[in-house]
Structure 1
């Protein structure tokens, strides 16, 4: 049933058998976790999805962010949060129509591009009251790492220098893991940004990361790009609820945008 629901096709009987074993292992993890969820011992529910037939190593291999243990110079001026004003209990840019629809990066390590583009799309919607669909493929094709992962702030630097085309002009085709020759049109890109700011003091030490209060202050201005450790069965099988972890470490493997908070 899952194979049909997620349009899965396997090339050999041997692969199909291995995928079945992977799926059954995922199902066991989901059922064991959800028993705890039903008892109120877990705050989030797991489910079966398109990742359920992958092995743990295959799932981890999808996340190709650069190694954050390698210190790099401060990428941008720091965001100075106004912490004198208490943040509301909940906040959600989606409720204001300022977040574009969820997109699928496919088999390309391009989450960094989707994070950068998603934040810029939201900023455009906030400023102009109009949704815009910008090109993730442009950065994948035109930056050095292609589908191999990239620093988020290098993506912002690219947009400052080159601008972005719309999705209709430069559509996403890297979902299969293959990218194309760069086709950027520097003379007439649709959208530019002039600058960006960073949260926290660095990315190589846990104490240098931004606090929750600083993040909430920034998110009230616009959705914010971030990295987190997504290489685990809890995230791969996430279905609903509030996923809480204190032992995931600070090593980033996946890039998304923060659009709000709540309980």
Structure 2
């Protein structure tokens, strides 16, 4: 610690190994070099992505010939491939794809997901027992979702927080926190706004050049996340981690849907995870066509192409069997994508089950509940796992700044 701040801590165990090899992952089919992502200031990236739909309409009328030609080329390619979706101007088109798509998941790491899932099973069993002893029926909190339903959308239960605008290659950060915020809303009955900046500077999970959610969720087990108000997002990955900052948002457990990070889970497995835990973090291969996606109900489908790996993180919040697609929440601002058939907020998309490798490294997270206290066995298990835990906050009513959603 220096002058009240600490630098990004070294992660312990598996997460530390993965964070250390993030740079190697980018060399195999991953887009963008760190030098490229630094070419545009994070504040400028966020300014562009934050345009409202109304701003975007006016901006489209003044597009440069270069972007107009690029959009025309994308549209022709989609039509040639028989795509079921429409494309048009979105603010994301004004930025290089490598600036937006910064999820870097290590390849060829056999056993990592299985190890995480064994740990998750032990921690989750303690969490479930703690809820039972605290007379909290977790199944009732999740009752809105059934994996047997033909379609489902967590937004309809008020369990999805608003669309945000990332900056630089921090999609991994917004994906991790978007899924966590959904779990918190389900387990605590209130929406929160967590600090992606705190995670960027403290979790050791990545930088503006890329990262992923495994080290994020390990950090949330041991330390937790701050309020957005405590550490507003700037996109500065060189800031020191604050030496003292309230981190009330903790994870009780987390795991992968499949036992192999590189395996896309079955449709049924993802549905079951959505209903057992809430919104999920996942990866896909974003493309220029994905940047230009502006459909509300049409399904994004580039499955006719072969994609070697992934480059972008999004949150799965629902599905539709008739569409054979996942409903995802993106972090490219409110003028990208469509509404997904609910409400007026844009920033969502339908992505076909077999398209663009969606489903790689799909992960769930269970937020610590304010409705009951975790039993001492939870801390004991964390110590056995050599995960250094900061003191857990006592259960308390939701903070007044939170927005109740039932």
In the superposition, the TM-score normalised over structure 1's length comes to 0.78
Match of 2:83 in 1: 42
Show the 5 A alignment for 1:1-263.
5-6=55-56, 20-32=64-76, 41-54=82-95, 58-71=96-109, 73-75=111-113, 76-77=116-117, 87-106=148-167, 108-144=168-204, 145-174=206-235, 178-183=237-242, 185=244, 188-204=246-262, 208-221=263-276, 222-230=278-286, 232-240=287-295, 241-246=298-303, 247-249=305-307, 251-262=309-320, 263=323
Deviation at 1:72, TM superposition (A): 5.5
Q: By percentage of residues, which structure has more strand?
A: 2
In structure 2, the CA distance between the partners of 1:135 and 1:53, relative to structure 1 (3 Å rule), is: closer
Gaps of 5+ in 2: 1-47, 122-145, 324-406
- Give the Cα separation in 1 of the matches to 2:172 and 2:55: 28
- Give the Cα separation in 2 of the matches to 1:7 and 1:154: 39
Gaps of 5+ in 1: 10-18
Q: Deviations over 1:137-177 (max 9, x none)?
A: 11101133322222211110011111111111111111xx5
Deviation at 1:65, TM superposition (A): 2.4
In structure 2, the CA distance between the partners of 1:195 and 1:86, relative to structure 1 (3 Å rule), is: closer
RMSD: 3.1
Aligned residues between the structures: 235
- Give the Cα separation in 2 of the matches to 1:171 and 1:43: 38
In structure 2, the CA distance between the partners of 1:134 and 1:31, relative to structure 1 (3 Å rule), is: same
In the superposition, the TM-score normalised over structure 2's length comes to 0.52
- Give the Cα separation in 2 of the matches to 1:150 and 1:73: 20
- Give the Cα separation in 2 of the matches to 1:105 and 1:74: 28
Deviation at 1:8, TM superposition (A): 11
In structure 2, the CA distance between the partners of 1:141 and 1:248, relative to structure 1 (3 Å rule), is: farther
Paired residues of 2:184 and 2:191 also in contact (CA < 8 A): yes
Deviation at 1:60, TM superposition (A): 2.9
Equivalent position SS for 1:225 = strand
